[in-house]
Amino acid sequence: MEIGRAKSKHGLMLAPMAGYTDGAMRKVCYMQGAEWCVTEMVSAKAVTFGDKKTFALAKIGLDESPCSVQIFGSEPDVMAKAAERLSRGEDGGKAPDAIDINMGCPVNKIFGNGEGSALMRNPNLIYRIVGAVSQNTPLPVTVKLRAGIDSTLKNAVECALAAEAAGASLITVHGRTRAEMYSGKADLEIIKRVKQSLKIPVIANGDIVDAESALFALKYTGADGIMVGRGAIGNPFVFAEIRAALEGESYTPPTMEEKINTALLQLRLSIEEKGEEIAVRESRKQIALYLRSFSGAAKIRAAINVADSYGAVSSALLSALD
């Protein structure tokens, strides 16, 4: 798969997830085989206001490639201005490889403002937004959708066609409606229909947590790649597992020691990016998920939840090896 100047052998992508896919998580996922990552979503309006915290979220490391920056909003002119500014790269970071537009976020605050998945109520607005962004950036423009708003409005095909007509280079579809949030089961049939209707690449997203689910999604939908979301939190190894399956190679799951070392590496990368106090506080929820299947995990999580330094987190994790 080739989008602009960036190439991806298998289309193995890390989904944008607010509060999770910071530079540290993206880097450990690249190390394990992710071929394309996307930043946490950033407000287009905040970008146009020059908000420093927003630019920190949008910053892409010089060693992150390919990587998209994801923006959200509902006003075509504001989205266009934000895309134009972010296309240059900010605060010493590298320029993104694509601009991704969030049309799938289901949370009440975003939806209530007419942003994220609320855009799927108006395919004409989708066309205008994608067109405005495409005209104001030299980068490829990609779009992340859901299956629809609810069971009565599953219009991912119509919305995807509008985005394609306006100049989108790739569409990702999460197989749940906005009403379903993250419950129930992702509908692969709607992703298949989008793939059959478009000429540009389509990426399948939703319930992809291991090689088996990835291979099934690719075969069923005919998609050009898969995007892993929650399945990669505390488990960047999922990319190595999926890549091995796609290439017909054997896969050896990580040992407990390898999981701990990767968790600590992710924390060190986060500290480099944000400083120790913030990094330790924000990383607790991710590090806790590295402990799945560990004996005595509850006790270790309790220690991590009150840890205030890298040393304290390290001691808690390494106690699992004793």
Active site residues: 105
Count Cα neighbours of 296 within 13 Å in the Cβ-side half-sphere. 12
Q: Please confirm whether the linkage preceding 66 is cis (ω < 30° from 0).
A: yes
Question: Locate tokens 């049309």: which residue?
Answer: 103
- Cα 290 from Cα 277, distance rounded (Å): 20
Interhelix angle 123-135/76-86, nearest 10 degrees: 30
Q: Name residues whose C-beta falls within 8 Å of residue 115's C-beta, 6 or more positions apart in sequence.
A: 72, 73, 74, 102, 105
Question: Locate tokens 């950036």: which residue?
Answer: 137
- Cα 283 from Cα 313, distance rounded (Å): 10
Q: Which of 128, 192, 115, 204 is nearest to 166 (CA)?
A: 128
- Cα 28 from Cα 290, distance rounded (Å): 13
